[in-house]
Structure formats: C-alpha cells, structure tokens
Chain A
Amino acid sequence: MSRYFRNIFESISTLMTGLGITWRHMIRIRKDNVTLQYPEERWPRPERNIGFDFSEYNIIRSRLQVDIDDCIGCLKCERACPVQCIKIVTVKSGAKGEDLMDIGHTGLTSNGTKKALIVTRFDIDMSECCYCNLCVYPCPEDCIYMTGGPNSKKHPIDYEFSQYDRNDLIFKFAKEVEEEKMAKYLPQKEKVEA
C-alpha cells in the first residue's frame, strides 16, 4: 500500500520536474533560441584563416573547383577519388610550356610549371562526390580545391548549388574547343587516356 502511494507521489514529483524544465525553456526562449532563419541568416562558417596555421590544407567540404589554367593533367586527383567522380582526358601538346591561344591553353601554371599536356576534358560529377577531400591533397599545383575557406580569394563558398536536373551537377572545367582547331595539336592520334 505504501508503494502504491509512493508511486503516485513519485509520478507527481518527477512529472512536475519535467514540466518545470520545459516551462523554464519556454520563458527563456530569447536567450536559448538556437534557430537560424535560414535564407536570411546563414550558419557562420568556421573561422579558418584566423586560428589556423595550416593554410596549405584546405579544410572545407564544399563544391569542387578547378583552376583549369593551372592543371597539368597529371590524373592524380582522378586516381585518388574513391567514387570515380572525376574524369580527365588529356592530349599531348606539341610544344611544352607554350601558350596556345587559339584553344585557350596556357603553357605555364601559376607555379611556373611547364605544361606538357592539354586537358581536353575535366568533368566532376558533384552528384556522386562524397566530399572526402582526398582529391585535393595530391594535387601538385593546388588547382583542384573545395570552394570557400582559405580559397575564398580564388572562389567564394558555394554550398547551395542545387539544380533541377541531375546532369547539371556534372561540372565541366575544360575549355570547350572546336574539333578542327584541336585537330592540329593531336600528334598522330596518340591519345593519352587514363
């Protein structure tokens, strides 16, 4: 019998405690509120450049961006990708390190490396990308990176790149060149392919 009443008493007291907590939260909502009104207020991006010494490391997970002028076509990023969402096709350029203006090919990267290959195709399928960042580390020219963060000078952050069609998520970075112009740079059908 005493257990019966103790049960009732326990129920009342513990339930009142619970009610008290929700009440406290309700009247303190101005202080406790955690909601962000999304389109107007954005989540503050973690401060990267302030506290970080490791500026060479790109620690943001966002859309992949390629500076195609710096790309030497070494295929390291393609091999590093665990989901095979990067596709690169290159062609041997006749003259190493020379600008070929008619197809928009620059001979030197911003690091000063002479380019031996013309990148004719550089596609990234962001619908398959798993944002693991593994393609970023091996790049010798730092030309593939995730947008924003330390790279915001090169490219602002782009988290919200939603599209209506899935194929619009395939980003093509290589410069589009007509085939006739390209033809004269193809050295006797020696296509290098991964």
Chain B
Amino acid sequence: MTIDQLMNWIPFGADWPALAFFAAVLVCALTVFLFIAVYALMAIYGEVKISSFMQDKVGPMGQGVGFHAGKWGLLQPVADAVKLILKEDIIPTLADKKLFIMAPFVVFIGAFISFAALPFNQHTVVSDLNIGIFYILAVGSLSVIGIILAGWGSNNKWSLYGGMRSAAQIVSYEIPAALSIITVIMLTGTLSMQGIIEFQKGTIWVILPNWIIFNNPFSFIAFFIFFISGVAECNRTPFDIPEAESELVAGAFTEYSGMRYAFFFLSEYAEMFVISAVATTAFLGGWNSPISGFFDGPGWGLFWFMGKSLFLVFVMLWFRWTFPRLRVDQLMSICWKVFLPFALVNIFGVAIWSLIIG
C-alpha cells in the first residue's frame, strides 16, 4: 500500500493533510521497523542453524527439562536480543562521544529508509517512487558514513582500520552494482520498482519466465555482478574485511557493545535483505510467479517476493560459511579489474542485443 492510500483511510486526512501525512509515515515506519526486527531475529536464527548444519553440528537445541532455548532452539535469537538489550552500555573514555553514539543510527538509517521503495507485492510498497531503484542505490551507501564514523569515533586502531577499509570497499563496489542496474534500466526503460517488475511479466521462450536474468546473456552476467557487489556492500564474507574477526578483532565495531552493537547487527541483516530484494526486483521478476499465469495475486506475490529474497539471503549465508576472506588489495583488484570491465561490457552488450533482437 502506498502512503497515499493510507492517508485516504485516515479519517481526518482531508482536514489535516500534514498531520495525516505524518501519521501515515509513522505507521509505515513502525511497520518497517517491526518487519526488520522480526526478520533479523529470523535471519540470526537461520544463520546459526544453517552454519551449524554446514559444519556438521546442530546449533542451539533446547532439550530436556527446564526453560532452555525452546524447541530446536527457536528462542535462541530472542535470548540473544534480550541479552543485547540488557547489556551494559560502554562508551570508551577516549572515544569521540558524539560520533560514537551517532554511528549506529546512521548505519541503520541507511538500511532502514531503503525499505521505503521495496515492492513486497502488487500493492504493498511504502512509496512507489518513480526513481525507486536509483533511490535505493543512493541511500544504501549512506551506511558507509556510519561505519567511518564508528571507526573514527571509537579511537581504536582496529576500528580505524575497519572504517577505512570499509569506506574503500563500499565506495568501489557501488560502481559495478550501479552499472549492472543500468543494464536493467536500459531494458525496462523505467526507474520505478513496480515498473521494472511489470516489465518482467509473461514468459520468454515458451516456459522460461520473462525475468531480466533470462532476457539475454549479458543481463545474466549482470545479475551475478550485482549480487556479488551487493555481498561486498553488506560486508559479508568473502568480503568482510572491515570486520574481519581474525585480523581486526571486530573492525569498526570493536568498541561497541550491547544495544549499539545490536544496531550494527540489525542494519547488516537489513542491508542483506535490501540487496537481495533489489536483486529480486531487478533480475528475478520481483513478485512475479515463476510459472506465468499461475499462483498470481497479492498473497502469492508477497510469497514469491519474500521467497526469492530470502533465498538470496540464504546464498549470502552460504557464501559466508564456505569461503575464506579476501585481502584488501585483492578485493579492490577484483572490483576494478574484473567486475568493472565486465559491467561496462554488459552495458554495450545489452544495448546491442536490444537493438538487434528487441
């Protein structure tokens, strides 16, 4: 539902438009926050369990008498959350207090406001901006400022390393990601998220859904470039050098504890979802059903969208628990020497392809 619809429902909307707008935004914001919180708990549980399964163990399991972590450890993330909330809030004496306090929120805001343009199904989108995908790319990189603030504000050498690495990394990986999105925009001719999804309706080659990833070989490559750049932007393994725990202890987040650390955590998971959702929207048909004409409708739309996005989140977890970490210079060389040329070639390729075939 867009904000406009929500405003129409509000009884005093006509009389107090400003107030109604504020109320509608508040409702949306709270809903999104709730969504992020619940999703993060689920994702933490998923990460714990999936990593355990990959490593031949079972993760948290509540068994036997007493109030353990619930059946199959389902209450474990809740327990983690409670622990993080109750923990002592430590601010180092020599830290730059203002920056130190501000940093988690700046990071979180970047991930949080991206949700405004995510189309969950045909109708559910906070605001269907006409420059939706551009907006998400723009605000998504806000988090880098937060991480630099955290790195600088902590007054810790490890944090500084983490912050600096993160700045270099995220800024670099914005470019291949954006260039891959350009191929999508060239095909669809629109920046609106819903518009991009509408474009991907129907089928191509009889049974294959008309998703952009299947549209032509170049967009197929573009999907992978975008997704891997996205992984790098979320600071996930193999690109987690800003918080590389075996080198930098916890990188930019070394000095954080309790709720402040939880915010970093939350925004990391939120960002993962945003990247996955954008990849879903731009390449995997958004809320479109894989079998065209079947399982359509708002409910199914939500299901498909969430299913595809969560699958991509799972792939990120899968990466994390399989790969070693790259070194900072290798990370850069992959970005500039592999992804960037490929992304540029993709743009030309798509242009020529749509001239000839389309």
Q: Chain A residues in contact with chain B, CB under 8 A?
A: 8, 15, 18-19, 21-23, 25-26, 29, 32-35, 37, 39-40
Listed by A's residue number, 30 A-B pairs whose Cβ atoms lie within 8 Å are: A8-B338, A15-B322, A15-B323, A18-B323, A19-B319, A21-B322, A22-B54, A22-B318, A22-B321, A23-B54, A23-B318, A25-B53, A25-B54, A25-B55, A25-B56, A26-B50, A26-B53, A26-B54, A29-B53, A29-B58, A32-B56, A33-B56, A33-B58, A34-B56, A34-B57, A35-B52, A35-B57, A37-B61, A40-B63, A40-B64
Nearest CB on A from B58, distance (A):
5
Which residue in chain B gives the minimum CB-CB distance to A34? Answer: B56
Contact with A along B35-69 (1 / 0, CB 8 A): 00000000000000010111111100101100000
Contact-residue bracket for chain B:
10 to 19
Nearest CB on B from A1, distance (A):
12
Secondary structure type dominating chain A contacts? helix
Q: Is there contact, CB below 8 Å, between B56 and A29? A: yes
Q: How far is the CA of A19 from the CA of B238 in the complex (A)?
A: 13
Which residue in chain B gives the minimum CB-CB distance to A39? Answer: B64
Q: How far is the CA of A21 from the CA of B306 in the complex (A)?
A: 27
Q: How far is the CA of A37 from the CA of B58 in the complex (A)?
A: 9
Which residue in chain B gives the minimum CB-CB distance to A23? Answer: B318
Which residues of B sit under 8 angstroms from A37, Cβ to Cβ? 61, 63-64
The 5 lowest CB-CB distance pairs between A and B, nearest first, are: A22-B54, A29-B53, A26-B53, A35-B57, A40-B64
Which residues of A sit under 8 angstroms from B321, Cβ to Cβ? 22
Q: Given known contacts A35-B58, A40-B64, what 17 new A-B pairs fall within 8 Å (CB)? A: A18-B322, A19-B322, A22-B54, A22-B318, A23-B318, A25-B53, A25-B54, A25-B56, A26-B50, A29-B58, A32-B56, A33-B56, A33-B57, A34-B56, A35-B61, A37-B61, A37-B64
Nearest CB on B from A34, distance (A):
5
Which residue in chain A gives the minimum CB-CB distance to B341? Answer: A4
Q: How far is the CA of A58 from the CA of B1 in the complex (A)?
A: 74
Chain B CB within 10 Å — which of A22, A23, A35, A39 has the most? Answer: A22
Q: How far is the CA of A29 from the CA of B72 in the complex (A)?
A: 14
Q: How far is the CA of A180 from the CA of B320 in the complex (A)?
A: 72
Nearest CB on A from B237, distance (A):
12
Nearest CB on A from B335, distance (A):
14
Q: How far is the CA of A61 from the CA of B329 in the complex (A)?
A: 50
Q: How far is the CA of A29 from the CA of B53 in the complex (A)?
A: 6
Nearest CB on A from B310, distance (A):
16
Nearest CB on A from B54, distance (A):
4
Which residue in chain B gives the minimum CB-CB distance to A7? Answer: B338
